[in-house]
Amino acid sequence: MSRSIVRQSKFRHVFGQNVKAEQGYDDIRVSKVTWDSSFCAVNPKFLAVIVESSGGGAFLVLPISKTGRVDKNYPLVVGHSGPVLDIDWCPHDDNILASCSEDCTAMVWQIPDHVLTRPVTDPVVVLEGHSKRVGIVTWHPTARNILLTAGSDNLVIIWNVGTGEPLISMDDHPDLIYSISWNRNGSLFCTTCKDRRLRVCDPRKREVVATNFEEPIALLELDTSNGVLLPYYDADANMVYLCGKGDSSIRYFEITDEPPYVHYLSTFSSKEPQRGMGFMPKRGVDVSKCEIARLFKLLDKKCEPITMTVPRKSDLFQDDLYPDTAGPEPAMEPEEWLDGRDEDPILVSLRDGYVPPKSRELKVAKKNVLDSRPTTRRSMSVLDTNSLPPQLLERLLEEIQNLKATVLSQEKRICDLENKLSQYTNGTD
């Protein structure tokens, strides 16, 4: 008598569950713009959602703990002159977020730790290089300040947001780029395109290194819906979550190295179709409840968190479920990556949970941008000091030092005021 062999896996019984109603986010006017991005980005500190807005584009940023009904007058992040199409949190700073828009620009924003009391209108840097709308924005996984954008001009641009300058530009796509994803160490990225080709690109060589693979190692037919699939890959658990726009279910699979490679686990279904989805980084899950993933489902006027949990009876930390995961520290500087260095993410343990660090200011030094523009002025570093009278030179240097001291003192004052405001709004003072 033959017996069926059941595949052993610690994720076979993963189940999805909606959080309680009061732990959701209500009265959010989710954007109705026709675009195939997720409309949502989340990290251990904040939830960001692209929303309807008159007179330009906007998105909502809420502290992850600020659940319940959102006041209709809650301040937004505004600055784009056209609808916002995509947003992405920086993996190395939970207070830095990038956005892109139909206005042909991408912007980088610094979000304060305290609850917003007025709209955020001034981005840290504006990135201008596309001739048509910018629909994709995604951060490099391991290098500091490296950001990729892609637009309807079929152009991919990689930026150093610390200087505001474009580093690399690629025009290898003959049609609209649908999606882009970096590999784990950021040495390559993969794209899907309207021409139905899958491309693997090496940005530093500025070339496509692979395209249209001969045969897929696995092929699964899900349904006959024509909605866009939003895939989320959990590298720690080797699981893929598939969320269809306009669908009301989330299917999840485990990936293995042996045939048949892709193993269906289960489907989480709810009543209402999703308009978009956010996926929490692993450092933001609740390890005390054996939660291995948390998704944020966008509906017409609210956002519902969905937890994915492995049923375990023990209250102890489950080492097998939580290998060390990518932490918030970058593994290298932008110049090192541009010179050809590759590094995997710096890992952190979740044994004692994860506490997000305080906000760190993103400073932009646009020397490279300014140096590329024609100018008739000379900087002090190249000025012939021998042509200046000694007294005038001494006075100029003294004035420069005084101005530097004034700027530093003002920066410290601003930091102190922000900390006081944070303590006041959080009720700790």
Q: What's the token pair of residue 185?
A: 């160490």
- Tell me whether residue 87 is in a domain: yes
- Tell me whether residue 367 is in a domain: no
- Tell me whether residue 296 is in a domain: yes
374 pLDDT above the threshold of 60 = no
HSE-CB at 131 with a 13 A cutoff on CA atoms is 5
* Rounded Cα gap, residues 40 and 75, in angstroms: 17
CA distances from 381 to 142, 166, 365, 378, 385 (A): 34, 25, 16, 8, 9
- Tell me whether residue 155 is in a domain: yes
* pLDDT tens track for 46-76: 999 999 988 789 999 999 999 999 999 999 9
What is the pLDDT at residue 425?
59
Instruction: Grade residue 371 by pLDDT with cuts at 50, 70 and 90.
Output: very low
Among 51, 47, 48, 49, CA closest to 64: 47
- Tell me whether residue 399 is in a domain: no
150 and 134 Cβ atoms separated by less than 8 Å: yes
Q: What's the distance, Cα to Cα, between the start and end of the chain in Å? A: 73
CB atoms within 10 A of CB 404: 10
226 pLDDT above the threshold of 80 = no
* pLDDT tens track for 387-425: 556 667 777 777 777 776 676 667 667 766 766 666 665
| CATH number of the structural domain spanning residue 61 | 2.130.10.10
What is the pLDDT at residue 368?
42
| Domain extent for 319 | 15-326
What is the pLDDT at residue 366?
67
111 pLDDT above the threshold of 90 = yes
What is the pLDDT at residue 385?
47
- Tell me whether residue 346 is in a domain: no
- Tell me whether residue 10 is in a domain: no
- The enclosing H or E element of 298 equals strand 291-298
CB atoms within 10 A of CB 246: 11
Residue 41, strand partner residues: 48
Q: How many domains does the chain have?
A: 1
* Rounded Cα gap, residues 399 and 318, in angstroms: 60
Per DSSP, the three-state class of 325 is strand
* pLDDT tens track for 115-163: 889 999 999 999 999 999 999 999 999 999 999 999 999 999 999 999 9
Q: Is 0.95 topped by the overall pTM?
A: no
- Which long-range contacts link 176-181 to residues 24+ away (Cβ below 8 Å)? 176/152, 177/135, 177/136, 177/150, 178/36, 179/36, 179/136, 180/136, 180/138, 180/148, 180/150, 180/156, 181/138
More confident residue, 223 or 193: 193
The percentage of residues in the chain with a pLDDT greater than 70, rounded to a whole number, is 87
- Tell me whether residue 383 is in a domain: no
> Which phi and psi (to 5°) does residue 253 adopt?
-135, 155
Place of tokens 């930026």: 159
What is the pLDDT at residue 56?
84
